[in-house]
Amino acid sequence: MIYSLMAMGITFIYGIMRIINWSMGEFYMIGGYLQYIIITHFLGVENWYLGVILSMVGVFLLGMVVQGLLIKPMFEGTVENRMEYATIVTIALSVLFMNMAVIGAGPFIYSPPGYYHSTRIITLPISGTRFVAFIGTIVLLFLFYLFLKKTWWGRAFQGAAQNRMGIQTAGIDVFRLDQIAFGIGVALAAAAGALLAPEFFVHPKCGSIATMKGFEIIVIGGLGSIPGVLCAGLLLGLIESLGAVFLDPSFRDVYGFLFLLAILAIKPTGLFEERERVA
Amino acid sequence: MKIINHTVISGSKGRSLSLAVLLIVCLLPFWTGEYYMQVFTIAFYYVILASSWNLLAGYAGQFSLAHHAFAAIGGYTSALLVANFGFPIWLGILAAPLSSALMGFILGMLCLRMRAIYLAIATWAFAESVRITISMTYEITRGDLGLAVPKLFMGKGQGVPYYYLFLGLAAATALMTIFIMRSKMGYYLRAIRNDEMVARVMGINTTRWKILAFILSSGTAGIAGAFYGHYNGLLTPVMVDFNEMAFIVIMVVIGGIRSIAGPVIGAILIQILTETFREFGEIRMVVFALAVIAIARLYNEGAMGVVRQVLQWITRRKQAREY
Amino acid sequence: MEKKNNELLRTENIIKDFGSLRAVDNLSLRLEEGEIRGLIGPNGSGKTTLVNLITGVYRPTSGGVYFSGRRIDRLPLDNITHEGIMRTFQVARMFADMSVLDNMLIPAFTQGTSKREARHRAQELLDFCLLGKLSNEPARNLSGGQTMLLQIVRGFMRQPLKLYLLDEPFAGVHPAIKDIIIETIQKMNREEGVTFLIVSHELTTIHRLCSQISVLHGGKVISEGTMKEVANDPRVIDSYLGG
């Protein structure tokens, strides 16, 4: 499902920097806001996909700034307890962004126009936006996959995830890598926000559900595992849909969550274990 | 940046300062009206939560994101027993920490072998489950509509007995924390936080102490939640929103993590500021969030650090004058 | 020094596999009470793994570790010290946010020693190795050599300390501190009968301290004896040169 993008962002950032960014949902929200502004004031809804891209770029830049100010110092030795620091700072960031959204844009709910007309998948009706968002997600995930496997940068990131010290000796500037990785991670969240903006509307709290779904996928799929995210994303979507169809649709979110709890109890590290970092 | 190791302001300075503060706080109801009494009562409630969370997360290094959930568990346990099953209030309040401590025990056991990151996620998931459960079982808990809870004290002088009740609980929590951190357990918890493996090599049964920290911290939160329910008269799932947990973290960080008085000061300060500047709305949280970021990034010790520096400066001035 | 001829520690054919890597290969070692044994060998020969196996950080894939005749390789990590066994780490590991003195107190507390007694002994030990003035400093403020010294001296808080395993205690340590470490080891061995197993690359220091030396290579003991015997053993020479 589309929230795989969230999970991908969380996992990617974790893989490079070994921190959990608790404000991912807020970057999703910012992506949504940017998308709304772009398509209602500038490009128009026909160019929604351009809007998505631009939102991603905007949030990417924001992410780099945030990383440089807040996260990088963790690695420069000025902070003692990294995990605690990262958690505190990213939680504070999420509070900051959410409240700034209320101040900046008011507690209103914005709904950008839908991206596409309603269609059907086999016999199930599906809203146009969701359909298109799903396609968009697949495209982005595919591009991300290509990026990781085929480009130089992508391989550098893979290297960093496996052996941080090793790639430094190979002459790569790890701090630069960190910054870009963070930017990419939150850009993915923004993409999700931009894609789902017409469906779930744009308002200061829209990030919370995204964070939740993102973490659900992470727990199920395993932190730090890219295939895990993909599988878990599909699995979660499947379980929720099946539950909604065959059981009570109003408990849709709960089914996924119950599955998450089951995974936590049985295999807390998720379906796919993370590969241990060597150095 | 100089780091202070043992974070109680020990000695006569600390004691006299604490007593002075305590005295002021005890006499407060005579000076202020109903409104500020309520503000302080809630502040004391948060003092309990902040202090007990600091024990587990600050001192023992178990960064749990489920603390607000334990308060909710305690609150709802007592409320349901009293409202739906006709238990006397004191029995409900007794049952509350039992249930929250039990859940804390279970959560602690599940999280025993987890690395810090997974602990955060697992505790987060736990808290969300509690929230969802409370919302979903609305036939019993009245869900988002809110559960009406019989109040503890009826009659006139509404605010005063609650004020002293929560004041007493807050003071008791602070004393408990002092007692624990001064005892061997305190050393063990700090060692566990610093380096769990070495702690084990030194002979510390890290399992036992981590679980104990979970139980104490969640039990305390449960008591607080229970009393809160019987004070407020209403419980809603909002109390187990992630925002509540963020609030606790903010209070502890601003006040000074890993100090006894830090959570106390932080909770009272934040609560007072929140109420006093109510008309500023969201700006309050923006300011708090920025303060947390600044403190975490630049001045880890928070408000307590400032207090300590001031006291040290005073001592040095005194010493200089004596020569 | 009285020769006691009592076996204190014995590893019997222990094997430790990490996946397909065999780090320790049928290793049998025997330590007598009161010995100061050196453990040398090229990098990757399994020295630290052996220390980890003895102290319960790793479980052997097969084989056993016996301490005073009792099998200890199944014990949980935090029970090992209760046997009277302590160890240090190659990279000195401290409770960084706790004071030097507090670091010393922990091993005594877990034994049940009272705060006052523990403080007294801790200060004594710290004074002996010239760290006394630093007792209220946070451990993170110490220099590298000082942390190693603190790490070592911390172990002596446990009474009785029967066996002490030191992993590279001299690596990167200032010569003055090295001397203090050597003195402390000798004093503890002499006065309190502590048995030592010292892993090190510093052959001159090992020669000075240790009466017997075991040489490890490829997870096996390839030679044992006095420094002279071992230095002239062709297998040892081969292992260091050939690798």
pLDDT band at B137 (very low <50, low <70, confident <90, very high): confident
- Cα–Cα distance measured from residue C225 to residue C185, given in angstroms and rounded to the nearest whole number: 20
Residues of B in contact with C77 (CB under 8 A): 197, 200-201
Q: Which of C106, C114, C150 to mutate to test the interface with B (most CBs of B within 10 A)?
A: C106
The 10s digit of each residue's pLDDT in C56-111 is: 899 999 889 999 888 998 888 888 889 999 999 998 889 988 999 999 999 999 98
Quote the pLDDT of residue B210: 95
Contact call for B120 and A92, based on CB within 8 A: no
Q: What is the CA radius of gyration of chain B?
A: 20
Interface of B with A in 49-78 (CB under 8 A): 57, 61, 63, 65
- Cα–Cα distance measured from residue A164 to residue A18, given in angstroms and rounded to the nearest whole number: 11
Contact call for A91 and B249, based on CB within 8 A: yes
pLDDT band at B2 (very low <50, low <70, confident <90, very high): very low
Quote the pLDDT of residue B305: 87
Residue B127 phi/psi, 5° resolution? Answer: -60, -40
Quote the pLDDT of residue B206: 93
The residues near B179 (Cβ < 8 Å, ≥ 6 apart) are: none
pLDDT band at C198 (very low <50, low <70, confident <90, very high): very high
Contact call for B136 and A251, based on CB within 8 A: yes
The 10s digit of each residue's pLDDT in B52-93 is: 999 999 999 999 999 999 999 999 999 999 888 888 888 889
Which tokens hold the place of A161? 């995830």
Which amino acid, one-letter code, is at C174?
H
pLDDT band at A226 (very low <50, low <70, confident <90, very high): confident
- Cα–Cα distance measured from residue C87 to residue C129, given in angstroms and rounded to the nearest whole number: 18
Q: How many Å lie between the alpha carbon of B288 and the closest alpha carbon of chain A? A: 8
Q: How many Å lie between the alpha carbon of A129 and the closest alpha carbon of chain B? A: 28
- Cα–Cα distance measured from residue B303 to residue B252, given in angstroms and rounded to the nearest whole number: 10
**Distance, first Cα to last Cα, chain C:** 37
The 10s digit of each residue's pLDDT in B226-250 is: 999 988 888 999 999 999 999 999 9
pLDDT score of C120 more than 60: yes
Which tokens hold the place of B224? 């607080």
- Cα–Cα distance measured from residue A35 to residue A59, given in angstroms and rounded to the nearest whole number: 11
Question: Could you tell me which chain B residue has the CA closest to the CA of C89?
Answer: B198
pLDDT score of A270 more than 90: no
> Three-class SS of residue A177?
helix
Residues of B in contact with A80 (CB under 8 A): 3, 300
Contact call for B201 and C140, based on CB within 8 A: no
- Cα–Cα distance measured from residue A185 to residue A59, given in angstroms and rounded to the nearest whole number: 10
- Cα–Cα distance measured from residue A239 to residue A247, given in angstroms and rounded to the nearest whole number: 11
Q: What is the mean pLDDT of residues B25-44?
A: 85
The 10s digit of each residue's pLDDT in C20-62 is: 888 888 888 899 998 999 999 888 888 999 999 999 899 999 8
Residues of B in contact with A6 (CB under 8 A): none
Please indicate whether residue C114 or residue A81 has the higher confidence score (pLDDT).
C114
H or E stretch at C198: strand C195-199
> Three-class SS of residue B228?
helix
Residues of B in contact with A83 (CB under 8 A): 63, 116-117, 120
Which tokens hold the place of A170? 């190979």
Residues of B in contact with A219 (CB under 8 A): 121, 125
Q: How many Å lie between the alpha carbon of B53 and the closest alpha carbon of chain A? A: 14
- The answer to whether A186 contacts chain B (CB < 8 Å) is no
Give the lowest-confidence range in A235-249, C80-94, C188-202: A235-249
> Three-class SS of residue B128?
helix
Tell me, rounded to whole angstroms, the distance of Cα A28 from its chain centroid. 7
Residue B149 exposure: Cα atoms within 13 Å on the Cβ side: 29
Contact call for B281 and A102, based on CB within 8 A: yes
Quote the pLDDT of residue C12: 86
Residues of A in contact with B61 (CB under 8 A): 81, 84
Residues of C in contact with B206 (CB under 8 A): 78
Nearest one of B68, B41, B58 to B169, comparing CA atoms = B41
Query: Among B3, B5, B201, whose Cβ lies nearest the Cβ of C55?
Result: B201
- Cα–Cα distance measured from residue B251 to residue B263, given in angstroms and rounded to the nearest whole number: 6
Please indicate whether residue A276 or residue C139 has the higher confidence score (pLDDT).
C139
pLDDT score of B51 more than 90: yes
Quote the pLDDT of residue A274: 66
Model confidence, pTM: 0.90
The 10s digit of each residue's pLDDT in B100-124 is: 999 999 999 988 888 888 899 999 9
- The answer to whether A273 contacts chain B (CB < 8 Å) is no
What single string gives the DSSP state of each residue in chain A?
A: -TTHHHHHHHHHHHHHH----TTHHHHHHHHHHHHHHIIIIIS-GGGHHHHHHHHHHHHHHHHHHHIIIIIHHHHTT--S-HHHHHHHHHHHHHHHHHHHHHHHH-S--B-PPPSS--EEETTEEE-HHHHHHHHHHHHHHHHHHHHHHHSHHHHHHHHHHH-HHHHHHTT--HHHHHHHHHHHHHHHHHHHHHHHHHHH-B-TTHHHHHHHHHHHHHHHH-TT-HHHHHHHHHHHHHHHHHHHHHS-GGGHHHHHHHHHHHHHHH-TT-SSPPPPP--
pLDDT band at B225 (very low <50, low <70, confident <90, very high): very high
The 10s digit of each residue's pLDDT in C148-182 is: 999 999 999 998 899 999 999 998 888 999 999 99
| Length of chain A as a residue count | 279
Quote the pLDDT of residue B6: 42
Which tokens hold the place of B73? 């568990």
Quote the pLDDT of residue A278: 58
